[in-house]
């Protein structure tokens, strides 16, 4: 029988010990999945002050055919000069009834052309340029550019929501399978109830086969001038100036909140 050399025995012993280590790393860290959804867009419209609560219901369609519903509710406001305040909160199964954890506080000042995104966990405010217009034009109905699909719209009439008149419409965007890399065309259906007085959607119902059902409701609407202190970033936070422009109302800063693999407490 051949004998193993001392070096070989040492190598075997080392490998054996390594494989038995209970905390030995087997792979590099995994970043996980963090999802954000886009909520209502509040533009810096002057002379239309309000404060309100936005409640979001998010029903996700899971791969096994079941559903998961998460909620949050948050405070939003705008003053007569067009300054905007918005909370961002995590989602939980009972987030419509219980205030969930704050993820960030957004303070938009069109007069100074700045937006401050303040994150309580870091006690830091990130200040960047802001140049959003007071109004945004919707793309016309019909074919989408590059033949990706089409958009159709229909009117749904009028109704009063929390004392504010709203105009209803339904929008169906159908993306071709070739544009998505999927097996069939995918329609996204959205229903809006829009207040021209406030310049926001008071209700939005959105169905997307890729992300599920999302319902946004604006309630507790108060059209009096909000308290000016609501539009001032918190004291004691570090301020970081950034160069990222916040000129697009559909960018990350108008996202509703977060949902991780496990809902936040």
Report whether 191 contacts 161 (CB < 8 A): no
Q: What is the pTM of this model?
A: 0.78
Banded model confidence at residue 32, pLDDT cuts 50, 70, 90: low
Q: Report pLDDT for 262.
A: 35
The predicted structure's pLDDT at residue 133: 76
Which contacts of 154-158 are long-range, i.e. CB under 8 A and separated by 24 or more positions?
156/191, 156/193
The set of long-range contacts for 59-64, using a CB threshold of 8 Å and a minimum separation of 24, is: 59/212, 59/213, 59/214, 60/211, 60/212, 60/259, 61/209, 61/211, 61/212
The residues spanned by each domain of the chain are 37-260
C-alpha to C-alpha distance for 82 and 44, rounded to whole angstroms: 4
**Does residue 52 register a pLDDT over 80?**
yes
Give the model confidence (pLDDT) of 141-174 as tens digits: 999 887 788 999 999 999 999 999 999 999 999 8
What CATH number should be reported for the domain whose range is 37-260? 2.50.20.10
């Amino acid at each position: 029988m051949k004998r193993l050399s001392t070096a070989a025995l040492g190598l075997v012993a080392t490998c054996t010990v390594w494989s038995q280590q209970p905390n030995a790393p087997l792979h590099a860290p995994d970043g996980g999945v963090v999802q954000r959804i886009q909520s209502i867009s509040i533009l810096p419209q002057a002379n239309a002050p309000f404060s309100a609560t936005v409640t979001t219901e998010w029903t996700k369609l899971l791969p096994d055919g079941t559903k998961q519903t998460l909620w949050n509710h948050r405070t939003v406001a705008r003053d007569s000069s067009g300054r905007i305040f918005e909370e961002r909160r995590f989602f939980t199964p009972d987030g419509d009834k219980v205030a969930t954890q704050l993820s960030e506080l957004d303070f938009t000042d069109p007069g100074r052309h700045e937006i401050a995104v303040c994150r309580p966990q870091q006690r830091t405010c990130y200040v960047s340029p802001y140049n959003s217009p007071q109004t945004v034009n919707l793309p016309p109905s019909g074919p989408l550019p590059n033949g990706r699909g089409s958009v159709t719209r229909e009117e749904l009439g009028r109704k009063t929501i929390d004392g504010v008149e709203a105009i209803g419409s339904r929008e169906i965007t159908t993306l071709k399978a070739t544009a998505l890399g999927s097996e069939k065309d995918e329609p996204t259906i959205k229903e809006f109830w829009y207040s021209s007085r406030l310049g926001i959607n008071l209700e939005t119902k959105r169905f997307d086969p890729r992300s599920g059902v999302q319902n946004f409701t604006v309630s507790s609407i108060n059209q009096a001038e909000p308290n000016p202190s609501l539009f001032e970033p918190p004291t004691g936070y570090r301020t970081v100036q950034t160069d990222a422009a916040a000129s697009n109302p559909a960018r990350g800063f108008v996202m509703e909140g977060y949902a991780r693999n496990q809902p936040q407490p």
